[in-house]
Chain A
C-alpha cells in the first residue's frame, strides 16, 4: 500500500524568511504524480504545486518550489519570502496507478505552518 510521511507536525517561520517542509513517500510504481495542497483555517483545500514523476526538473510556482528526489522518494516544498497568508496546514499527496488502471490520491497527515510577523 502506498504511504506518505510528513515528519514535521508543526513548523514556524518569520515573515519574509524561507522554510522547507519535508515529505517522503513509498510506492512500487514508476508512474505517479505528486502534489502539495494548502489548507488555511477556512478548510478549503488549495493546490499549491504539482510534479510529474517522469520529469526530472523541479516544479516551481512563484514563491513555491519543490525538491523532488525520485530515488530517495522525497518531495519537499520550499516557500520563499514567507507571507502571513501562508499560514495553513500543508499536505503532501500523490497519485499512483495500479496495473488495473485505477488510481487514487493518498495524503500525508499534514504540517501546520505558522508565519510569524
Chain B
C-alpha cells in the first residue's frame, strides 16, 4: 500500500541528546514536509523540501536539521539546541504545487 511511514511512533530523549525521526514515502511525491504540533496549537512548519538535495526552513527551524538525499526519505534531527522539543511531529508529502498534502501517522517525542 502507498503511504507515508514515520518511525518511531514514540521516542524518549534525554536532555542534551540528538534524535532522528524517520519519514519514508512510497507515493513518488516530490515535496516533503515536517510539522510540529503542540497542545492547543495548529501545525507549525519546521522544514520542507520540494526536490532532492534541496530544502528550506519553515517557521520554527531553529534546533532542527533535515536532509533529502533520496526522493523517498526526509529524516528530521532534533538537536540539543532545541530548547523545548517535547511535541508531536508530523511528516507529510505532496506531488507538488497545489496538490493535496498527505500526512504520516506522526511521532511523539518526549524529553526526560
State the A residues within 8 Å of B (CB): 4, 33, 35, 37, 42-45, 47, 50, 52, 91, 93, 95, 97, 102-105, 107-110
Contact = CB atoms under 8 A, between A and B. Distances in A.
Contact of B98 (A33, A44, A93, A109): A33
B98 A47 contact: no
Contacts of A103: 97-98
Chain A interface mostly helix, strand, loop or mixed?
strand
Contacts of A95: 98, 101
B42 A107 contact: yes
B98 A91 contact: no
B42 A108 contact: yes
Interface string B6-44: 000000000000000000000000000100000011111
B58 A91 contact: no
Interface stretch (B60-68, B69-77, B78-86, B102-110): B102-110
Interface string B82-93: 000000101010
A44 B42 CA distance: 14
Contacts of B44: 107
Contacts of A97: 97-98
Contacts of B92: 45, 105
Contacts of A52: 98
A93 B94 CA distance: 15
Given A43-B88, A44-B103, A45-B103, A107 B98 contact: no
